[in-house]
A and B are shown apart, each in its own frame.
Chain A
Amino acid sequence: MRGNRRDVLRGLGAGVALVAMPAVVRAQGADIIRIGALNPITGSGSPYGSGMQKTIFAAAEAVNAAGGAGGRKIEIVAEDGQTSPQAAVLAAKKLIEINKVSAILGTWSSGVSLAVAPLAENANVLLMHTSGAPALSTPKVNGKGLFFRFHANNERSGAAFAELCKRRKFTRPATMAFNNASGIGNVDGFRKTWEAGGGKVVESVVYEPNQPSYRSELQKVLAANPDVIVTGSYLADTTIILREWFQTGQAVAWAIPGWAVTPELIRAIGPTAAEGIMSVDAISNEDDPAFKAFDAAYQKAMSKPGQSNVYAAECWDMVNCLTLAIEAAGGSVDANTLKAKIREVANPDGQKVGSFAEGKAALKKGKINYEGASSALDFDATGDVKPTFGAWTVEGGKLVQKYKFQA
């Protein structure tokens, strides 16, 4: 009996060893760098998420084709953040604890980025995001300086809305904001710049997501007789609000973030109701070589032009910027080393480069300055970029670009 039990135990032990082995073997593969892609495949961010994820894979493929970063191959582990902080936190935990990623790329909504941020900070993992909430670059949240924002800070987008309203000579703006960090950040940024310029905001409303109707909210804003309503909103709620607004019959202009004014929105409310709606968003660096490379990759992956997804362009830059930093650090993935190297390879002074392969070659000679597909990609001390904004107007069911400005 005793012998038998030993055999059984030995067998069990061997079994456990067999099961455990792949993990051990994997851990020894020091020439692989694992990077997490945490994009909004479902939820409010779904119009952009798939394109962002596929772009990250395509960019990593280009890096590996050029021999990898610091001699190490890049492996992308993708998860769906569902545009939901709860789901994204679970996914981030899995990426950090099980996949042992060195960086998390492409969190989209501010709610998600703010929820994932403490996990990344505790684990010393870099977080590169496309969110707007100003809080993400404050010392309270980004104490270790591990977070990099590839999109416009809402304070800057808000200032861009103020610039647009000034150019269009509006005098009585009102605001409507989706109740989250990004929605409120956008209209607060607008108010700050607008009031600093001596203007007044006649009414402002913050509304809850997922309501069957926003008529009461609209009524309150329209009662103040604004000449323009500036929003911090997403596609679904914007669709509902605009449909209800059109049915009230009261004339007013709208200035809405670009991520909500998509062809889907115009289709949903019809060209008559959409006519004249203005949108503001950061625009890609379309004349740059990096954008052309991104555009080609995006066309191949999504069969759509690269201009249609500014967040995907930002994801393209995330991979290039991160891998160039790793290359400059000689293959190190230590977050504290990389956060300095990222600024070194992306900010001015140095030879301008537009791709990983180009940058890798130039690094052998000296300093480089990666010029991205999404913007010139120069990070300030808080980890923010300073993108260029575009303003569009819907004319005959199509978005027509009217202005281009820095804010």
Chain B
Amino acid sequence: MSYLVLVQNGIAQGLIIGLAALSITLVFGIARFPNAAAGDMLTFGGYAGLFAFSATHSLLATGLAAIAATALLSLLMYYAVFRRLAGRSAVSLLVASIGVAFMIRAVLGVSFGHGQLVYEIELTRPYIVGGVRVSPLDLKLALIAFVTLAAAFGVLYMTSIGRQMRAVADNSDLARVSGIRPQRVMASLWLLAGALTAIAGVMLGMKTIVAPEIGWEILLPAFAAAIFGGIGSPIGAVAAGLILGVAQELSTPLVGFTYKIAVSFAVMCAVLVFRPRGLFGKAEAVR
């Protein structure tokens, strides 16, 4: 079997995991808790995109609608729950986010049923490039992912609010005494985290199906990628998602399809043994 095909499949999966991991790592770096609701925010984005897609059949409108709806949900989560718990231990916030996750899933289940929905995209034959079959849909989705990532990194590294977010992530006390308003930073953070999961949700939904559990099931690999990449490191999260995806697919000729997930986790463990702070993480002193 052609290894190029496996790499291509790995990248397609890695991008989805990487986007979700990026959202998790940003929240962890700035709000300082592991956001277990990221998976269900992703599901929400998948549903929002699905309805936009049925109405317009335009990828651009689908992406924008999913971003708008999920960013709004994310902001609502912040104001309704996480802002009130600010300053509590990370465990309280984690538990609260699990609760939020259940609520999102339950509302989606009650509203749209537990059955599967699908993006009614036209199924197209592949391009054949150098003997490798490339699906046009995957190309489009990869493009969307790269644009989203470019935009997210643009916000983080080229705008004032991005600088402020990184400052808070680096040292929140120092940021505060430097005159950075935490409220604004947090609101922007949640909008960005919501937008990223929304695109991951649309990608996953288009490639597979939309059902209330899809996001919950991808949460574990996304968390793994966030830790693997170095918790709090945006580049690391995306790189780790891609590495996990590609390692998993490339292992299949050797170990078969049943154990590929175990292989990707073994790769992660091996790296963490030699580099406990993750690929791109900074060594952090425990206070």
Contacts and interface: CB of A to CB of B under 8 A. Distances in A.
On whether the two chains bind one another, the answer is yes
Interface of A: 41-43, 46-47, 179, 205-208, 210-213, 215-217, 219-220, 223, 235-236, 239-240, 243-244, 246-249, 264, 267-270, 272-273
Interface in B219-276: 249, 252, 256-258, 260-261
A137 to B, nearest CB: 25
A247 B126 contact: yes
A207 B259 CA distance: 9
B208 interface: yes
B9 interface: yes
Interface stretch (B24-32, B65-73, B88-96, B108-116): B108-116
15 contacts: A43-B213, A205-B256, A208-B261, A213-B208, A215-B9, A216-B1, A216-B5, A236-B209, A239-B118, A239-B209, A243-B123, A248-B133, A249-B125, A267-B118, A272-B123
Contacts of A219: 1-2, 5
Nearest to A45: B114
B202 interface: no
B217 interface: yes
A179 to B, nearest CB: 6
Going nearest first, the 4 A-B pairs with the smallest beta carbon separation are A268-B118, A210-B217, A46-B114, A249-B125
Interface centre among B118, B217, B256 (most CB of A within 10 A): B118
Contacts of B208: 212-213, 236, 239-240
Residue among B17, B116, B214 with max Cβ neighbours from chain A (10 Å) = B116
Interface in B185-232: 204, 207-209, 211, 213-214, 217-218
A247 B135 contact: yes
Given A216-B252, A268-B116, A248 B126 contact: yes
B16 interface: yes
Contacts of B13: 211-213
Nearest to A47: B115
Given A220-B257, A270-B122, 16 more contacts: A42-B109, A205-B256, A212-B16, A212-B208, A213-B9, A216-B1, A216-B249, A220-B1, A220-B252, A239-B209, A240-B207, A247-B126, A247-B137, A248-B126, A249-B126, A268-B209
Contacts of A216: 1, 5-6, 9, 249, 252, 257
Interface of B: 1-2, 5-6, 9, 12-13, 16-17, 109, 113-116, 118, 120, 122-126, 133, 135, 137, 204, 207-209, 211, 213-214, 217-218, 249, 252, 256-258, 260-261
Contact of A205 (B115, B137, B257): B257
A206 B115 contact: no
Contacts of B257: 205-208, 216-217, 220
Contact of B258 (A206, A215, A248): A206
Given A216-B5, A249-B133, A239 B218 contact: no
B125 A247 contact: yes
Contacts of B9: 213, 215-216
Contacts of A240: 207-209
Contacts of A270: 120, 122-123
Contacts of B123: 243, 246-247, 269-270, 272-273
A208 B258 contact: yes
A269 to B, nearest CB: 7
B114 to A, nearest CB: 4
Contact of A239 (B12, B114, B116): B116
B116 A235 contact: yes
Given A212-B204, A213-B207, A247 B114 contact: no
A229 to B, nearest CB: 15
Nearest to A272: B123
Nearest to A240: B208
A206 B260 CA distance: 11
A172 B114 CA distance: 37
Given A46-B114, A220-B1, A248-B133, A212 B209 contact: no
B277 to A, nearest CB: 28
A220 B258 CA distance: 14
Contacts of A213: 9, 12-13, 207-208
A277 to B, nearest CB: 14
Contacts of B2: 219
A249 B114 CA distance: 31
B203 to A, nearest CB: 8
A335 B217 CA distance: 39
A24 B260 CA distance: 54
